[in-house]
Amino acid sequence: MAMMYSKEVMEHFSNPRNVGEMENPDGVGEVGNPVCGDMMTFHVKVVDDKISDVKFKTFGCGAAIAVSSMVSEMAIGQTVDDALTITNADVAKKLGGLPKNKMHCSNLGADALHLAIEDYLKRQGRPVQPRTEPSHEEAEVQEPVSGCACPYCDSPVDPDGTTCQPCGKSFKVCPECQKPLQEDADHCPSCNAAL
């Protein structure tokens, strides 16, 4: 996994900041991606219109955990309005880039934070401005060293193999684009080929 990610991603994955739940949060935001299975929940505490604390719980890959950790650090100390301007591009840049197939994680992290802030604003009876969706092209993308990554743990794998050495899980390969897929996949998320 280390070869695919920047040292910042690996640091936030190995030592995530602000993990956990918050008692009596001022706002809660939860997002999920049905394709990859990542789930993120953010809790925020706001004092004098500034985010004084953020806690998160993330179920997902190493990139999702690193993104959640980075987003939480970026938000603490920001005004509510400033924290709402954090984009996927900001997150990816702070992490030193993300592989293309992990850019959705930066969207999830920013979205979960924004939803928590919007929940806070609603609880305060304040207006919530409609959000514009950031473009994936805005964010810095880091190309993986290997074109083939384990669909379970993102470690580089040999496309001619059927088992990931780091996590030990078996995978299959898409007959169209040759990308590794989870054993139970019925279509390829890369090229949309039916399996």
Which residues are known catalytic residues?
A: 36, 105
Contact 170, 163 (CB under 8 A): yes
Alpha-carbon distance 76 to 92, whole Å? Answer: 17
* Residue 139 amino acid letter: A
Residue recorded with tokens 């959000």: 131
Alpha-carbon distance 195 to 188, whole Å? Answer: 7
For the chain, give the longest Cα–Cα distance.
Answer: 57
Q: 3-state DSSP call for residue 19?
A: strand
Instruction: List, in sequence order, the alpha helices (H) in the chain.
Output: 7-14, 62-75, 80-83, 88-94, 103-123
Alpha-carbon distance 70 to 57, whole Å? Answer: 13
